Amino acid sequence: MERFGTFLGEASSLSRHFDTLFLALFILCSLVTIIITFLIVFFAIKYRRGASTSRFIIRKSTAIEFAWTIIPFGLFLAIFVWAAYFYTELLVPPDDATVDLDIAIVGKQWMWKLQHPNGKREINKLHVPLGKNVRLTMISQDVIHSFFIPAFRIKHDVLPGRYITIWFRPIKLGKYHLFCAEYCGTDHSRMVGQVIVMEPSAYAQWLQQK
């Protein structure tokens, strides 16, 4: 996975939480797939036409049906709660007191324009300090775009005529992909950029550069 570090490095405080939940569901789904596939193949062989085996059936199904209605119900409820709890963490930014840095973002066909608190601007690049809570306030000048940093596991659509705020806390130095994830016209796939996570001191220095 090192090769894909610019995508999926565990680069934000939210990444690990995502990975745990994803892994849990991946295991669950794999188990179900393996069990059902095994049963299908097993029955297909054991009860193939011509094989000598008992085929006597008592077709009482109600109890079984209830069992395999209620078990998934319980499982799904648990997954729902876990995922929903984490969703609020992702989408509801922390309050003003715990935000370290506010960045304003404007999306337009086909670039990202970003502005730091001291007025410094950049295009298709986002420099951020390590370990700080960064809040993004985003709006679009034209169509809907979507601000997506895979390594941070965050994404949110950027709408015209309405401010959207999301947040993240980078926990690993490095350079990561920034994508536009909502189809926005001809050069949608070129509306990409880079997120650069720096030491806070380096970031402070960078902010002062002209």
Partner 1 sequence: MSANAAAEYTSYLDEGETLKSWLTTLDHKRIAVLYLVSITLFFFIGGIAAAVIRLELVTAGGDFVTAETYNKSFSLHGIVMVWFFLIPSIPAVLGNFLIPLMIGARDLAFPRLNLASWYLYTLGGIFTIGMVIAGGVDTGWTFYTPFSTMFSNTYVIAAVLGVFIVGFSSIFTGINFIVTIHKMRAPGLTWFRLPMFVWANYATSVIMVLATPVLAMTLTLVAVERIFQIGIFDPALGGDPLLFQHLFWFYSHPAVYIMVLPAMGVASELIACFSRSPVFGYRFMAYSVMAIAILGFLVWGHHMFVSGESVYAGMMFSLFSFMVAIPSAIKVFNWTATLYKGSISFEAPMLYALGFVFLFMIGGLTGIIVAALALDVHLTDTYFVIAHFHYIMVGGSVMAYLGGIHFWWPKMTGRMYPEMWGRIAAVLIFVGFNVTFFPQFLLGYLGMPRRYHEYPEELEVLNVISSGGALILALGYLLPLLYLLWSLRYGRIAGSNPWEAKGLEWQTSSPPAKYNFRETPIVTEEAYAYSPYKV
Please, what is the minimum distance in Å from the beta carbon of residue 9 to partner 1? Answer: 11
Task: Closer to partner 1 by CB, 20 or 201: give it.
Answer: 20
Per CB under 8 A, 155 contacts partner 1? yes
Q: 146: part of which helix (H) or strand (E)?
A: strand 145-149
Q: What letter represents residue 79's amino acid?
A: I
Please tell me whether residue 170 adopts helix, strand or coil conformation: strand
Among Cu ion, partner 1, none, the one that 154 touches (CB under a kind-dependent 5 to 8 A) is partner 1
The minimum distance between CB 73 and partner 1, in angstroms, equals: 6
Q: Which of 185, 95, 103 shows the shortest CA–CA distance to 138?
A: 103
In three-state secondary structure terms, 101 is strand
Bridge pairing between strands 193-198 and 125-129: parallel
Binder of partner 1 out of 189, 199, 201, 205 (CB under 8 A): 189
Under rule CB under 8 A, residue 187 binds partner 1: yes
State yes or no: residue 162 binds partner 1 (CB under 8 A).
yes
Q: Which of 146, 155, 144 lies closest to 91 in space, CA to CA?
A: 155
Residue whose entry in the numeric block shows the structure tokens 């001291």: 118
Of 61, 118, 208, 209, the one binding partner 1 by CB under 8 A: 61
Q: Between residues 17 and 120, which has the closer beta carbon with respect to partner 1? A: 17
Select from 27, 83, 123, 173 the one that contacts partner 1 (CB under 8 A). 83
